[in-house]
Amino acid sequence: MDYINEKQSKSKTLDLLKCMSLLVCSSLGAILILAFILACLFMAAPAMGSCQDRTIPGLTSIKLPKTYRTAGGIPVRRIICHTSMKKPLALAFKCLRDNRDLDLIESIDGCYCYRNIRGTNRLSNHAHGRAIDINAKSTIPQAVSDCFKQADFIWGGDWKFRPDPMHFELPSGE
């Protein structure tokens, strides 16, 4: 999920709720509003841990080659990452496009999210905008991991201690 937009997403949700409150004239309207509120609450939560409301230098909006969805079903066309991610992401997605494998990515589940690595006091590479999570609720096909590795990403699925198959990050110093 595009975590930096979580706050904006909640703000837009409140604006929509204000507009939708006008529809409460009928019981059907009330049911639709309740369903909308519940869907927004479930989909707005980050997949892994909570992101702190903090920004860092060097963040940029990167356009994806197509509209994907998060594991929670929210459409994603742009993600917020560090500028160092632009070229490697472009190379990885070009590889997938050239091999007709863009549809193997079922969800884009976040890039920038200021938080610690789960279970530690160390900042995650997501906190630097130098990592992306893909297919959080499904497996990573070999073609996807191959294209991202060719673009110089380190794949969390290769880690011996606590593998994280949805995670792709740039090596330090890139």
Q: Which residues pair with 154 in a beta bridge?
A: 169
Return the structure tokens found at 106. 């079922």
Q: How confident is the model at residue 117 (pLDDT cuts 50, 70, 90)?
A: confident
Handedness of CA 41, 79, 109, 170 (dihedral sign): negative
Q: How far apart are the first and last CA of the chain?
A: 23
Of 27-31, 51-55, 71-75, 126-130, which range is least confident?
Answer: 27-31
**Mean pLDDT value across residues 46-53:** 64
For residue 120, pLDDT over 80 is answered with yes
For residue 38, pLDDT over 60 is answered with no
Rounded to an integer, what distance in angstroms lies between the CA atom of residue 112 and that of residue 127?
6
Residue whose token pair is 């740039």: 170
Q: Is 135 left (phi over 0), alpha (psi -120 to 50) or beta?
A: left
Per-residue model confidence as pLDDT tens digits over 67-107: 999 999 999 999 999 999 999 999 999 999 999 999 999 99
Rounded to an integer, what distance in angstroms lies between the CA atom of residue 129 and that of residue 113?
7
**Mean pLDDT value across residues 127-145:** 96
pLDDT mean across residues, the chain: 81
- Choose the most confident range, by mean pLDDT, from 5-14, 43-52, 93-102, 117-126: 93-102
Q: How confident is the model at residue 55 (pLDDT cuts 50, 70, 90)?
A: confident
- pTM: predicted TM-score of the whole model, two decimal places: 0.70
Between strands 167-169 and 131-133, the pairing is antiparallel
For residue 16, pLDDT over 60 is answered with no
Q: How confident is the model at residue 40 (pLDDT cuts 50, 70, 90)?
A: very low
**Mean pLDDT value across residues 56-68:** 94
